[in-house]
């Protein structure tokens, strides 16, 4: 194998592919990026996998000799980027070694034999459909922070993604909060499809797409979900299991509701949050004409602020929230205003967009 290409282009593409490589010590072969060079119109391909997520990245290069090599994912992008000169050459040596030359620089990377690289899943071209990439990215951004990071509960580390005829719906929860977002779709699959997809993988899809205006290709298979854009392909295993019935978790019987400017509320929550330490709650008090937010950490600091609101209820409601969860919910609401709905100090609260396309349930903390 021997190729020649632009150095910065190779460094960028290697860095993209390396994000899917495994970081686990017991998966040494998966800690590499496979470079495959073919003649003809087929582009050079960089591929990496951690056995859950697989990423294929095209590379513009001149192929002098066909073949494949494995490049160490941890150091190859850094080395290529640090070299000087516009062009870099990669050629295969013996026993998995790869010779890298650029200008007067010459380095040898000690890779592994190509046949030790894990077998990659095929791209499901048969079931691909196209959808709007910017819409997908927008909905992911609304729900991703509510997903769990606890790997012992894999279902909650993903989001339920549902493609319907005219809209996209996503829901994510870590059992302490729940985010649900939807958006209209100009392009949709021929029939309704849904899957629990790892949030980490969807964030990577959004990162790869960047500001691209190309449509996003999606295929939802029995065990695998595939995304494609601008020649890049990401495949990820579906999360098996039963996602919570999120519609049943939306609070009913909300008796106290206000609409407030999003930016004003967010700035107050951020300032009050400065005095929060560890598990200290943010206390919210809704009374006639006023929403008060306060926090106190013993021997550190305390603070309180009030916002005038259009509320004339006879009952005063006091409720405690996790500061991070409250801030995340407010930041995720689209638009300039936020609707806050309360039932009691012991019942979940509801944050909602004015147009109803996003809602966020947050559990209270005892105060």
pLDDT, tens only, 187-212: 878 899 999 999 999 999 999 999 89
What's the pLDDT band for 24 if we cut at 50, 70, 90?
confident
Phi-psi region of 213 (alpha: psi -120 to 50; beta: other; left: phi over 0): alpha
Tell me, what's the pLDDT at 94? 81
What's the pLDDT band for 8 if we cut at 50, 70, 90?
very high
Average of per-residue pLDDT across 163-173: 95
Above 80 in pLDDT, residue 309? yes
Write down the mean pLDDT value for the chain: 95
Above 80 in pLDDT, residue 319? yes
Residue 160 contacts residue 246 (beta carbons within 8 Å): yes
- Greater confidence (300 vs 169) lies with 169
Q: Label residue 294 exposed, middle or buried (CB < 10 Å: 0-12, 13-18, 19+).
A: middle
Task: Say what percent of the chain tops pLDDT 70.
Answer: 99
Tell me, what's the pLDDT at 41? 73
Tell me, what's the pLDDT at 287? 96
Tell me, what's the pLDDT at 27? 84
Above 90 in pLDDT, residue 302? yes
Tell me, what's the pLDDT at 367? 84
Tell me, what's the pLDDT at 360? 98
Architecture of domain 2-116: Roll (3.10)
pLDDT digits (tens, 9 = 90+) for 79-137: 999 999 999 999 998 888 999 999 999 999 998 999 999 999 999 898 999 999 999 99
Average of per-residue pLDDT across 9-26: 93
Tell me, what's the pLDDT at 155? 97
Above 80 in pLDDT, residue 78? yes
Average of per-residue pLDDT across 272-281: 90
Tell me, what's the pLDDT at 117? 96
Q: Tell which residue, 318, 319, 323, 320, has the closest CA to residue 276.
A: 323
First to last CA, the chain: 66
Tell me, what's the pLDDT at 189? 87
What is the DSSP-derived secondary structure letter of residue 254? -
Tell me, what's the pLDDT at 150? 94
Above 90 in pLDDT, residue 313? no
Q: Tell which residue, 352, 356, 153, has the closest CA to residue 243.
A: 153
| Cα separation values, 264 from 272, 301, 331, 337, Å | 13, 22, 11, 9
- The pTM of this model reads 0.93
Average of per-residue pLDDT across 318-324: 96
125-246 and 2-116 share a CATH fold: yes
Assign domain 125-246 to its CATH superfamily. Answer: DNA Polymerase III, subunit A, domain 2 (3.10.150.10)
Above 90 in pLDDT, residue 310? yes
Tell me, what's the pLDDT at 242? 96
- Greater confidence (312 vs 7) lies with 7
What's the pLDDT band for 277 if we cut at 50, 70, 90?
confident
Write the secondary structure of 58-93 as one string of H (helix), E (strand) and C (coil). Answer: EECCEEEECEEEEEECCCHHHHHHHCCCCEEEEEEC
Tell me, what's the pLDDT at 252? 93
Please state the domain extents for the chain: 2-116, 125-246, 250-362
Above 80 in pLDDT, residue 40? no
β-bridge mates for residue 109, sequence order = 98
Architecture of domain 250-362: Roll (3.10)
Give φ, ψ of 199 to 5 degrees. Answer: -60, -35
Above 80 in pLDDT, residue 355? yes
Q: Tell which residue, 284, 277, 278, has the closest CA to residue 326.
A: 284
Tell me, what's the pLDDT at 201? 97
Average of per-residue pLDDT across 233-256: 96
10 Å Cβ neighbour count for 26? 6
**253 is written with which tokens?**
């019987």
């Amino acid at each position: 194998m021997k190729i020649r290409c632009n150095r910065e282009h190779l460094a960028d593409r290697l860095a993209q592919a390396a994000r899917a490589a495994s970081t686990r010590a017991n998966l040494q072969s998966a800690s590499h990026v496979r470079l495959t060079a073919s003649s003809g119109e087929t582009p050079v391909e960089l591929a990496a996998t951690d056995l859950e997520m697989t990423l294929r990245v095209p590379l513009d290069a001149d192929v002098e000799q066909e073949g494949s090599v494995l490049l160490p994912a941890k150091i190859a992008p850094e080395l290529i980027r640090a070299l000087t000169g516009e062009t870099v050459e990669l050629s295969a040596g013996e026993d998995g070694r790869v010779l890298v030359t650029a200008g007067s620089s010459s380095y040898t990377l000690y890779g592994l034999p190509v046949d030790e690289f894990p077998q990659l899943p095929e791209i499901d071209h048969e079931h691909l459909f196209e959808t709007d990439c910017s819409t997908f990215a927008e909905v992911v951004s609304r729900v991703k922070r509510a997903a769990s990071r606890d790997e012992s509960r894999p279902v909650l580390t993903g989001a339920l993604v549902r493609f319907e005829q005219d809209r996209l719906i996503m829901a994510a929860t870590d059992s302490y909060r729940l985010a649900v977002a939807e958006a209209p779709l100009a392009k949709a699959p021929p029939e309704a499809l849904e899957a629990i997809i790892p949030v980490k993988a969807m964030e990577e899809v959004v990162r790869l797409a960047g500001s691209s205006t190309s449509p996003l290709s999606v295929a939802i298979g029995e065990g695998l979900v595939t995304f494609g854009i601008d020649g890049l392909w990401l495949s990820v295993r579906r999360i098996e299991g039963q996602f919570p019935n999120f519609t049943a978790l939306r609070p009913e019987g909300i008796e106290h509701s206000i609409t407030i400017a999003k930016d004003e509320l967010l700035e107050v929550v951020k300032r009050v949050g400065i005095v929060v330490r560890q598990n200290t709650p943010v206390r919210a008090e809704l009374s006639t004409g006023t929403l008060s937010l306060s926090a106190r950490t013993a021997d550190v600091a305390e603070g309180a602020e009030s916002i005038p609101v259009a509320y004339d209820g006879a009952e005063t409601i006091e409720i405690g929230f996790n500061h991070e969860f409250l801030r995340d919910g407010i930041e995720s609401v689209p638009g300039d205003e936020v609707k806050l709905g309360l039932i009691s100090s012991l019942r979940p609260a509801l944050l909602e967009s004015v147009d109803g396309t996003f809602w966020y349930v947050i559990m209270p903390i005892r105060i």
